[in-house]
Structures are given as structure tokens and as C-alpha cells.
């Protein structure tokens, strides 16, 4: 995945909410995931494209954003 730290943080929040049985924590984790995807990711990817150009564009085409591929 292109953003393993973000994915790990989101999964940690969701698992914590599930483990605690807390709908509030689950909602907070989901809201954070949506906010990151809508607000942070586009800015980050734009900056990386400006910085690395075609190399980053090629990287994006080969590496999925959220879905983990084992190989």
C-alpha cells in the first residue's frame, strides 16, 4: 500500500473500538479515515508528484492506495 502508516493507524483505531465495544471509538476512527482520505491524501500526493514527477506517477500506477497485495 502507498500509505502503510495511515492504514495502520486506521486499523488500530477500528480494532481498538471493536475490542472495547465502543461505537464512539469506531466512529472516530472512521471519521479520521475519511478525513485523511479526503483532506490530507490529495495534498500529500500533489506534493509528491511535484517533487518526484513521473517516478511518483509510475509508483502510484503500480502500488495500490489501500488494498494490500501480498506479491
Domain contains 71: no
Boundaries of domain holding 13: 4-62
For residue 19, name the pLDDT band (cuts at 50, 70, 90).
very high
Give the per-residue pLDDT at 61: 93
Q: How many domains does the chain have?
A: 1
For residue 69, name the pLDDT band (cuts at 50, 70, 90).
confident
Domain contains 56: yes
Name the H helices within 1-71.
Answer: 4-20, 23-35, 41-52, 54-62
Average pLDDT over residues 11-20: 97
- Give the C-alpha separation, 4 to 26, whole Å: 20
Domain contains 69: no
pTM comes to 0.80
Amino acid at each position: 500500500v502507498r500509505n502503510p502508516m495511515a492504514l495502520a493507524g486506521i486499523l488500530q483505531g477500528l480494532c481498538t473500538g471493536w475490542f472495547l465495544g465502543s461505537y464512539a471509538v469506531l466512529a472516530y476512527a472512521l471519521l479520521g479515515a475519511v478525513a485523511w482520505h479526503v483532506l490530507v491524501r490529495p495534498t500529500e500526493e500533489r506534493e509528491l508528484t511535484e517533487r518526484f514527477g513521473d517516478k511518483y506517477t509510475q509508483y502510484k500506477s503500480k502500488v495500490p492506495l489501500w488494498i494490500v497485495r501480498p506479491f
